[in-house]
Amino acid sequence: MNRLFRTPITLLFAASLILSGCARLRPFPTASPTMGAPVTTVANKTTPTKQPAASPVAATTITAQPVDSSPLFPGLDLILQANFPDAPAQASLYRWVDPADWTPEEVNEISAGFMPHGQVYREKTSDSVSGNFLAIENTAHLYFSSWPRSLNYYAHTPAIFLNAQCTPPCLNAEIVAEIEARLQALKLLNFPYQLRQSEHRPWVIQFFQTLDGAPVLTDAEGGAQLEVQAEDNGSLTWLTARPASFEAQGSYPLTPARQAWQSLLAGDRTVGVVFREFRENPEPARRLYRQYVPGANQGFFGYAHAYESVDGGDPLILLNQYPVTGNIQGLAQAAAGGRLIQAWGQVSGVKPDFQLALDSWQVSVFPDQAVEGVIEQNGMSIDLVTPEGGFVLPAMTESNFINTSVTVRGVVLEETQPILEWYAIQSGPKERVRAGGPGLHPLKLDGQQQSSAALPERLEGTTGIPQIIVHAYSDGSSQVEVQFRLDVEAGQSAAPVARLDGAGIQGIEAYHNLPVRLWGRLADAQSVPPLVNVERFEPLYPELSIEAWLGLMEMVNLDDQEVWLFTTPEEEQYVIESSINAAQAERLPGSPGDPLIVEGIQIPERTFGGYPVIHDLQWFSGIGRNDLEDYTLQSAQPRLVQEPGAAGARRTAVIETIELVYLTPAVLLEQPSFNIEANLAQPVWRFRGRFKDGAYFEILVQALSLEYLSSH
């Protein structure tokens, strides 16, 4: 039975698993100074523009260069080792166009190029309708996803595939050219593109779609429209592609790159700026999937996926990506519901062409968990050690994961010493991409300036939510930062954010993510975020605490608005705050029918359409859970950010390349992404380089002229 989970807020300095997605954001004004008929970019040019990777900067050359700084990034020394590029006086804005679902004809044509003897299946869902397909041949898998429209190819079953490790350049130019020619023959490069080898993921070859010659950034890791990994002989190990179309929305004047750089150094807040650091280099994330002993009777945990043959053949069910046989009656229906499965049987076949022969199965009575800790060897046992205790990891044999911080997915079995029956392990940085800076400004395309969200000189009982951020440095030192998101007032485009300091914030950590009222003065309006010296604060609702709810989500119309309605097993119903007056309501989180866990607060007497409202903070999958009896709140924990070096130390950032790129909303998944218009690709200046420790970074500066940027 589900129960309402109430936990008083405490300051917990522990890392938490961050699950995030790209929200649907507010639309932008459509007027344009030179608007013509929309033009959809077509693939009439496929000749690539090849961009050489930037050469590493030797540490000895850094000290000889002029060092700049910006008030936007205190503690950062900037060294410019790149020339300012010439740029057009104007550039178009583009709107991303929702693509159509995959057709069986497209799936068959593309699949034949990867696996001539493969079988094609359509995924079954709870309502028997799906736009997702799978082609499979021996150990090779090719997935077609309808949302977002994409395809993913794996030459080997993911459960026995290890990430490549290599020293750049991972592939020579001749092999890269062969791969490019093959992709063209498969008609996957049917758009104008640039070819590059990824800088922070050197084992990846990237094909960036271009708009007016500028590459389009499509995801949070600086990804391309099409990416591949290959072996030394040129055979593809994996491929991912995200086909997209764009419509031109009119041409606008641009700010030159040199002027954008000067605005950055001056800390000019009329220009939108985002800083992004890529943490995956030089230690890439690694994934390990559970392997099983052939022939032995054993148990399995994992997720099943059911598929129907498109040509009338036998259906297919995969468990942890392995085909299953034997006692599978009813398993397809459980798979369609997205339930965690517990099964018993044997592994048959010869590596890598394994199958799972099931004797019996059931929907797991244990919830799926993600547990963070360090893998340690204790005699003959290999354990996952966490701040709360330890877990035995059965069948864990990979010695290169010992003494490594990891996230383990599986179920916990309560024995004398708890056992974590795992099915997947991931190591590497928990935050692969970290974003900061004041953020991008909303565009002002119709001549209407949006209401300023600037902070007043005095804050008199101002309401908002404090958020505690713990910066943990590699030398063991730490710093605590308190940010304060003010309530949005009528007419404002976004909630203003302040950084809090002063004697008046003592004890505020107990109200992380809870509404408070505070008094203070603006101490530094130029810092990012602006600094407020707090005199005192008080909780807005002293008895309020963060809660978690388990239930199902549906979209309904209330008060002439489309909103999300959340229903618990006890038939309690709530409207979700983030869906009110927002474009997010257009698409529900998760798959239809999947249970969700919502973390948030229920503000007294706050209702909409006759229902109480949950001010939602975080979302998690509830698949495999019947209640929240052992659930740990994530929103109650301060955000932990791993930082290199020591607290207070300065870092040196060397900028090696400057280029004009198109930025899509999907690139910035977290703050400060809320100001980017939905489905709009806009030109930005990309100042990209490396820190002295080798980690990559980029500074993105909006390129449209200032008259088309709204101020905050």
Per-residue model confidence as pLDDT tens digits over 526-560: 666 788 999 999 999 999 999 999 999 988 999 98
The amino acid at residue 349 is G
pLDDT, residue 641, reads: 73
Residue 687 has pLDDT above 50, yes or no: yes
Which is more confident, 31 or 612? 612
Question: What is the spatial distance between Cα 181 and Cα 171, in angstroms, rounded to a whole number?
Answer: 15
Residue 452, C-beta contacts closer than 8 angstroms, at least 6 positions apart = 492, 711, 712
DSSP string, 256-308: -HHHHHHHHHHT-TTS-EEEEEE-SSSS--EEEE----BTS-EEEEEEEEEEE
Radius of gyration of the chain (CA): 26
Residues 6+ apart with CB under 8 A from 504: 518, 519, 520, 533, 534, 535, 536, 537
Element (H, E) at 57: none
Least confident among 149-153, 313-317, 425-429? 425-429
Averaged confidence pLDDT in the chain: 79
pLDDT above 80: residue 211: yes
pLDDT at 684 over 50: yes
Is the pLDDT assigned to residue 585 strictly greater than 70? no
The 10 Å CB-count burial string (b at 16+, else e) for 691-708 is bbeebbbbbbbbbbebeb
pLDDT of residue 218: 82
Print burial letters for 165-181: b (CB count within 10 Å at least 16), e (below 16).
eeeeebbeeebbeebbe
Q: Is the pLDDT of residue 36 over 80?
A: no
The string of pLDDT tens digits covering residues 54-76 is 333 333 333 447 899 998 887 88
pLDDT recorded at residue 149: 86
Greatest mean pLDDT range, 201-205, 582-586, 604-608, 692-696? 604-608
Question: Tens digits of per-residue pLDDT, 257-304?
Answer: 999 999 999 988 788 898 888 876 545 667 788 888 888 899 999 888
The reported pLDDT for the residue numbered 528 is 64
> Taking residues 476-505, what's their average pLDDT?
80
Q: What percent of the chain has pLDDT over 70?
A: 80
Residue pair 601/547 in contact by the 8 Å Cβ criterion: yes
Reading the block at residue 74, the tokens are 């205190």
Q: Kindly give the pairing relationship between strand 405-413 and strand 226-230.
A: unpaired
Q: Extract the tokens encoding 654.
A: 């060397």
Question: At 203, is the pLDDT very low, low, confident or very high (cuts 50, 70, 90)?
Answer: confident
Distance CA 273, CA 252 (A): 19
Query: What domains, with CATH codes, occur in the chain?
Result: 452-543 (2.40.50), 547-632 (2.40.50)
Per-residue pLDDT for 17 more than 70? no
Q: pLDDT per residue over 553-579, tens digit each?
A: 988 999 988 899 999 999 999 999 988
> Mean pLDDT, to the nearest integer, of 145-165?
71
Collect all residues with Cβ–Cβ distance below 8 Å to 595 and sequence separation of at least 6.
550, 551, 552, 621, 622, 623, 625
Structure-model confidence comparison of residues 572 and 149, the more confident one: 572
DSSP 399: G
Is residue 44's pLDDT more than 60?
Answer: no
Tokens of 147: 């949302």
